Amino acid sequence: MHSDTLSEVARLLSQSSRVLFVTGAGISADSGLPTYRGVGGIYDSGITEHGMTIEEALSGDTFQRYPELTWKHIMRIEAACRGARYNAAHEAIANLERHLPEVWVLTQNVDGFHHAAGSSKVIEIHGNIRHLTCTACRYRTRIDGYEGLDALPRCPHCESVIRPQVVLFGEELPMAAVLQMHAQISQGFDLVVMVGTTALFPYIAEPALAAKQRGIPTVEINPGGSELTPLMDYAITARAAEALPALWERVREAVT
Nearest to 104 by CA among 89, 113, 112, 114: 114
Count of all residues that appear for the chain in the document:
256
Cβ-in-10-Å burial (0-12, 13-18, 19+) of 172 comes to exposed
Alpha carbon distance 207, 223 (integer Å): 20
Non-local CB neighbours of 165 within 8 Å, separated by 6+ positions: 127, 128, 131, 132, 133, 140, 174
Strand order in the sheet with 162-166: 140-142, 127-134, 162-166
Question: Do residues 37 and 54 touch, judged by C-beta distance below 8 A?
Answer: yes
Alpha carbon distance 152, 68 (integer Å): 5
Alpha carbon distance 48, 117 (integer Å): 34
DSSP 90-110: HHHHHHHHHHSSEEEEEE---
Annotated catalytic residues are 126
Alpha carbon distance 109, 191 (integer Å): 21
